[in-house]
Structure 1
Amino acid sequence: MTDRFDHHVLGIGNAIVDVLSLTDDAFLVSEGLAKGSMNLIDTERAEALYAAMGAATEASGGSAGNTVAAIGSLGGQGAFFGKVCDDTLGRFYRHDMRAMGMTFDTAPLPPDATPTARSMILITPDGERTMNTYLGACVELGPDDIDEKIVAGSAIAYFEGYLWDPPMAKDAFRKAADISHAHGRKVSITLSDSFCVDRWRDEFLSLIKDGSVDILLANDAEIKALYQTADLDTALRAIQVDCPLTAVTHSEKGCHVISSDGIVPVPTTPVERLIDTTGAGDMFAAGFLYGHALGLPNEAAAAIGNLAAGEVLGHIGPRPQRNLHQLAQQAGLL
């Protein structure tokens, strides 16, 4: 992409404050939680789980929000559409996004309305995270929150699969995708997690096959869930037919980039110490999409994605703690 744009990536997703806590498998069993899952919960369950979990750290999160924040750390320009309430957590979230230089102008709900979303993220010793999400104000994101000028000026409009849970967000997606394509831009979506795929498989496949999606991001579990197969090669060959460009991650093994040019593995350097996998996929998306927006070859963009994901694995929290642009420069990737 060589034409002028105001933002490299526009993220559209659920604006969620993450509440992160270290725990063990026994606690997950006692709470009836499937390890590695993302569970949507109501207010009562959110309060009960928060009371039961151990000491916690609060951090601005949400899949697309994390990706846009990482775009800033990479040295790019990002924007975000997401709904918060004008409450303490909402103001905290808005400040975080703007402090990183991101454009975040979505009008908040009034203080007495539905509270800002939060996700209780339980991290076991193996670094796996189990998410329990109260969507709160997120469900109010709709077509009226889509700013046409920002969409038109963004190289890539990036949507998280979790948007398919709040009903109005689907209309917001379609409006933004139409605007993006009308201005010659690209549309990307992440499948978010295999449970999300199970809920919305048919609709995701329809979006991919009808040309609404130009760039698909997924991990190996999600892509296999999409095509209902236990064989990764089968899933990769299927998505090669259905989508112009796909990147499928494989944890410490790196990723595959799939396009009409072939199915290309891109290895990564394993992290020295795995602390927390929260946000790893979001960081990969940031690196890959930023590289694509710069016009880099697909493999080079994937290498930046692998590097960004590796940084977030080494600490608690879903967003980078070191400057990703400097890390990429040191690695010769930017």
Structure 2
Amino acid sequence: MSSPLIVSMGNPLLDIQVAGEEGEKYLAKYGLKADDAILAEDKHMPIYDDIVQNAQVTYVAGGAAQNAARGAAYILPAGSVAYIGSVGDDDLMQTLRKANDAESVESAYQVQPAPAKTGACAVVITGHHRSLCTTLRAAEMFNPSHLATPEIAQLVAGAKFFYIEGYFLTHGIESALEVAKSASSRGRTVVLNLSAPFIPQFFKVQLEELLPHVDVLIGNESEAAAYAEAAGMGDASLEQVASALAASSKSNASRPRLVIVTQGADSTVVASSNPSTSPGNIKPSDPNPKVYPVPKLSNDQIIDTNGAGDMFAGGFLGALALGKDLDECVEIGHKLGQMCVGQIGPKLVYPKVNVL
């Protein structure tokens, strides 16, 4: 295996996507909410076969950190990004690996033997909204022993940036902590995405275990609100929540924390615990938090919002790895997020468009 600049870690999933009037039907049938992301309960389990057998379905390589990995790879030289996660030894895994190969992401999978199956996510698109319903399957079988194998240990030892999705904390906190603590102690940059409101709501303990080792925290307005509620800050503004997260305790206090909160088409908010030494070379004259307007898109430019936040994160991370300043990192994140909403599923435009 190569020595990539970035190692991304999360739950590999194949997205099973349905849209339009069919999307509205499935939203109602399975009691799903627009712009939500949940782990499937027993009542949701039939949705996967239901969509495949009865709807016009689109299959797209997914998984939040895997999407972000492909986003970062879009602006970096080939061989710069590797992705770690657990899959089944099946056709779904081959589909994911093929997508990664096509976009220069190294698939450092832990492959589980049959009958384990690769995870899937039912993606229900209604207008400009998406609802995600995930069955983890093999993804939640990730074992920390994978990190000790010579190939994976080499990847982790050589990388300078680590990206972890919040979804991984539902089962993989031991592995996430191992990677983050090691990276932090070596002066590497650890990036965590909150991923969904249910992470700060129901996995607050795991989140608070990992947060001290995180240099860059990314989330959207719903996730920030869920954190505020869980932390007893229910009346706080978005800027206040971002600042509180930035200021929370850190294992490596010499490295400030940067917090980025996106709001879809609305402005992105960025807060730092110490702007003078923060990642992204923040200008001393900048406000803290700083608000970045998002360029407007017309309705006909928005095809599908699934994965847009992941692609923002990937673009931001890739730009940060290139040594870009904060303004450029946010701008490139916005560009990839907006490129994604013009595609069906979490995809970018090929041949590549230069966004740097």
Superposition TM-score, scaled by structure 1 size: 0.89
Compare 64-73 and 224-233 and name the one that shifted more. 224-233
Aligned partner of residue 271 in structure 2, secondary structure: strand
Aligned partners of 1:288, 1:116: CA distance in 2, in Å?
28
For structure 1, list consecutive stretches of 5 or more residues without a partner in the other structure: 329-333
* 8 A Cα contact 2:4 2:81, kept in partner: yes
2:200 maps to: 197
Aligned residues of 1:43 and 1:134 also touching (Cα < 8 A): no
**SS in structure 1 at match of 2:88:** coil
Classify 1:152/1:114 alpha carbon distance in 2 versus 1 (closer, same or farther; 3 Å).
Answer: same
Aligned equivalents of 2:157, 2:351: Cα separation in 1: 28
* d(CA) in 2 for partners of 1:212, 1:105: 23
* Contact 1:271–1:314, Cα closer than 8 Å, also in 2: no
Shift of 1:89: 0.7
Cα deviation, residue 26, structure 1: 4.7
The superposition leaves residues 193-222 of structure 1 with CA deviations (integer Å, 9 ceiling, x where unpaired) of 1122211124323432xx211110011121
Identity %: 25
User: 1:12-32: per-residue Cα shift (whole Å, max 9, x none)?
Assistant: 000000011103435412321
Q: Summarize the Cα distance change of 1:183–1:152 in structure 2 as closer, same or farther, 3 Å threshold.
A: farther
Question: For 1:88 and 1:238, how far apart are their aligned partners in 2?
Answer: 44
The separation in 1 between residues aligned to 2:44 and 2:292, in whole angstroms, is 41
2:270 aligned residue (248, 257, 268) = 257
Give the Cα–Cα distance (whole angstroms) in 1 for the partners of residues 317 and 267 of structure 2: 16
Q: 2:297 aligns with which of 258, 271, 275?
A: 271
Q: Does 1:28 find its partner at 2:54?
A: no
Deviates more, 1:187-196 or 1:115-124: 187-196
**8 A Cα contact 2:316 2:329, kept in partner:** yes
State which of 306, 311, 315 in structure 1 corresponds to 2:334.
306
Q: 5+ unaligned residues in a row in structure 2: which ranges?
A: 249-255, 276-287
User: In 1, Cα distance between the equivalents of 2:122 and 2:347?
Assistant: 16
Q: Deviations over 1:270-313 (max 9, x none)?
A: 22322211111111111111111111111211111011101001
Q: Secondary structure at the match of 2:120?
A: strand
> Is the aligned partner of 1:327 residue 2:346?
no
CA RMSD in angstroms comes to: 2.0
In structure 1, the residue matched to 2:215 is 214
Amino acid of the structure 2 residue aligned with 1:31: Y
TM-score normalised by length of structure 2 = 0.83
Amino acid at match of 1:263: P
Say which of 1, 12, 16 aligns to 1:15.
12
Contact 1:17–1:59 (8 Å) recurs in 2:
yes
Distance in 1 (alpha carbons) for counterparts of 2:296 and 2:4: 31
Does the aligned pair in 2 maintain the 1:312–1:320 contact within 8 Å?
A: yes
Give the C-alpha shift of residue 43 in structure 1. Answer: 7.8
Tell me the distance in 2 between the aligned counterparts of 1:49 and 1:108: 22
